[in-house]
């Protein structure tokens, strides 16, 4: 009886041991010895190659058969002398440790447990650091930047200034340390609406400065480019070159030059046909102005020239340049301000010349020419009275002005007009802001005013009257 009970137990232990061995084979620090194929041999023997290559089922490097990720695609990254293999939709990362003419040894570096959180993410290498950006998982897209931590064998999240959601047509410039994103596509199936499942496009272009961990806005995607990319799904159907990417659209080949914000279209039908026959862009890369494509049957690389002269420059750019628009706007504003300033200076100059001419004319005239006879009489009355320490009352002014028999309203208006004219002429002649005739309310009856010559102007007006007597 005890023997019968022990058989299942022994079987269970054997099964657990087998499962443990299989798990360990895909776990951290697992090592795979794989054949050094002509494909790998070419990649290894090109020391200055910096590229990423989508591997087909025939060229996959890491043996994943009978694992839960057996169907996951693999991508090879060449960074000079170093070669890495990423398992798509995971954080699994393998590095070529050593090789000979027959075999290559790949070792897993990471301790990743979670899967399917970064589908169609963008992996890239910068300054020997390995990054993973964005992707789709758990019913939504994200804009997270992750960096592989070589000390802890884990992926660390890198905080950015904002979350820009990932999409297709991403391109990393190793020379600039920038990740270019022409537009976003926001997927969030947790929110009702079919558009949240298919993805809501946001046609604004950005680049991520890896040194500063900061997104910078480039501008809005041009309308012609929006039409070009709105119906495309090319996450694995583009080739990178030193300034951007090339891709197919309705059997035509386009080139996005992110470095110079330009769009090109191939005019070479042979190039188009070459790429159409390799539409999935697997086992291909661009190196020294040639497109390399691995032929599975012959186990050799086919090459095709990659020349910018095979492309026509289109009239549209990728995005409307925010900086250029800002400079243009600032230039227009500056020109308008300069024109307004020039107009103001011109008017001011003309006015000043006119005033100086009028002033010179007035200075050359006698007081009786500058002021009317009535105005001179009133000035003399006010001067004489003020010099005696007294003031002039309204009835005296009415008498001088000849309006003593007029109604009160008319008297008030005439007095006001005459004294204003005298003060204006005096300020103009002396080029000062001090009025000649001052006034104050009567002490015994606040309803009425008394008038006098302003104390500071007594000598000036007396001199003017004496010189033009």
pLDDT single digits (tens) 61-92? 999 988 889 999 999 999 999 999 999 999 99
Do 318 and 330 share a structural domain?
no
In a domain, 139, yes or no: yes
In a domain, 1, yes or no: no
Do 338 and 422 share a structural domain?
no
Do 316 and 334 share a structural domain?
no
Query: pLDDT (tens digit, 9 = 90+) per residue, 410-432?
Result: 888 888 898 888 888 888 877 77
In a domain, 5, yes or no: no
pLDDT band at 1 (very low <50, low <70, confident <90, very high): very low
User: Which pLDDT score is estimated for 427?
Assistant: 84
Do 105 and 63 share a structural domain?
yes
Do 181 and 306 share a structural domain?
yes
Do 77 and 132 share a structural domain?
yes
CATH code for the domain in which residue 418 is found: 1.10.10
Do 199 and 176 share a structural domain?
yes
Query: pLDDT (tens digit, 9 = 90+) per residue, 187-222?
Result: 988 899 998 888 899 999 999 999 999 999 999 999
- Residue 194 pairs with which residues in a beta bridge? none
User: Which pLDDT score is estimated for 2?
Assistant: 47
What whole-number distance in Å separates Cα of residue 159 and Cα of residue 147?
11
Do 339 and 259 share a structural domain?
no
Extended strands (E) in 47-153: 50-54, 74-79, 82-87, 93-99, 103-108, 122-126, 129-137, 140-149
Residues spanned by the domain of 339: 324-358
- Cα 291–292–293 angle (5° rounding)? 120
What whole-number distance in Å separates Cα of residue 171 and Cα of residue 207?
9
In a domain, 162, yes or no: yes
Do 59 and 42 share a structural domain?
yes
Mean pLDDT along residues 129-150: 94
In a domain, 20, yes or no: no
Do 119 and 247 share a structural domain?
yes
In a domain, 373, yes or no: yes
Do 214 and 70 share a structural domain?
yes
Last residue of a domain, one of 323, 348, 380: 323
Task: Show Cβ contacts of residue 147 under 8 Å, excluding neighbours closer than 6 positions.
Answer: 129, 130, 131, 132, 155, 156, 158
Query: For residue 170, which of 126, 122, 120 has the smallest C-alpha distance?
Result: 122
User: Which pLDDT score is estimated for 357?
Assistant: 56
As a 3-state breakdown, the chain gives helix, strand, coil percent values, each rounded to 5, of: 35, 30, 35
What whole-number distance in Å separates Cα of residue 452 and Cα of residue 141?
86
CATH code for the domain in which residue 131 is found: 2.120.10
Mean pLDDT along residues 120-136: 93
Q: Give the count of domains, the chain.
A: 3
User: Which pLDDT score is estimated for 411?
Assistant: 86
Residue 6 in tokens: 């022990």
In a domain, 15, yes or no: no
Stated pTM of the model: 0.64
What whole-number distance in Å separates Cα of residue 224 and Cα of residue 203?
12
When the pLDDT of each residue in the chain is averaged and rounded to a whole number, the result is: 85
In a domain, 4, yes or no: no
Do 77 and 206 share a structural domain?
yes
């Amino acid at each position: 009886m005890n023997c019968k009970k022990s058989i299942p137990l022994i079987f269970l232990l054997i099964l657990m041991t087998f499962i443990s061995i299989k798990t360990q084979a895909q776990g951290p620090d697992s090592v795979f010895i794989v054949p050094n194929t002509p494909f790998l041999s070419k990649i290894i023997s090109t020391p200055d190659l910096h590229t990423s290559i989508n591997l087909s089922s025939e060229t996959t490097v890491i043996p994943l058969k009978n694992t839960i990720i057996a169907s996951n695609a693999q991508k090879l990254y060449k960074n000079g002398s170093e070669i890495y293999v990423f398992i798509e939709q995971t954080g699994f990362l393998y590095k070529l440790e050593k090789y000979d003419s027959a075999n290559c040894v790949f070792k897993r570096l990471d301790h990743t447990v979670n899967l399917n959180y970064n589908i169609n993410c963008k992996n890239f290498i910068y300054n020997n650091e390995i990054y993973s950006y964005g992707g789709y998982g758990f019913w939504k897209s994200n804009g997270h930047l992750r960096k592989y931590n070589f000390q802890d064998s884990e992926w660390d999240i890198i905080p950015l200034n904002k979350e820009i959601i990932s999409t297709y047509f991403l391109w990393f410039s190793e020379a600039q340390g920038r990740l270019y994103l022409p537009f976003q596509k926001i997927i969030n199936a947790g929110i009702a609406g079919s558009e949240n499942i298919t993805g809501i496009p946001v046609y604004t272009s950005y680049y991520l400065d890896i040194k500063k961990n900061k997104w910078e806005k480039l501008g809005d995607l041009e309308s012609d480019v929006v039409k070009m990319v709105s119906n495309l799904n090319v996450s694995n159907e583009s080739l990178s070159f030193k300034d951007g990417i090339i891709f197919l659209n309705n059997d035509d080949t386009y080139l996005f030059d992110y470095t110079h914000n330009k769009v090109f279209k191939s005019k070479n039908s042979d190039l188009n046909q070459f790429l159409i026959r390799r539409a999935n862009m697997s086992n291909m890369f661009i190196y020294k102005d040639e497109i390399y494509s691995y032929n599975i049957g012959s186990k050799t690389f086919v090459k095709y020239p990659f020349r910018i002269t095979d492309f026509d420059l289109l009239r549209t750019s990728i995005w409307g340049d925010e900086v250029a628009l800002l400079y243009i706007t600032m230039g227009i504003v500056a020109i308008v301000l300069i024109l307004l300033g020039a107009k103001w200076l011109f008017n001011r100059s003309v006015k000043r010349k006119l005033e100086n001419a009028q002033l010179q004319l007035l200075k050359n005239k006698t007081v009786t020419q500058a002021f009317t006879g009535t105005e001179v009489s009133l000035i003399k009355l006010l001067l004489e009275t003020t010099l005696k320490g007294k003031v002039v009352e309204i009835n005296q002014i009415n008498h001088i002005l000849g309006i003593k028999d007029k109604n009160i309203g008319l008297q008030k208006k005439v007095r006001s007009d005459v004294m204003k004219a005298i003060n204006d002429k005096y300020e103009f002649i002396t080029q000062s802001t001090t009025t000649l005739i001052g006034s104050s309310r009567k002490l015994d009856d606040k309803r009425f005013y008394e008038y006098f010559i302003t104390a500071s102007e007594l000598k000036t007006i007396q001199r003017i009257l004496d010189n033009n007597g």
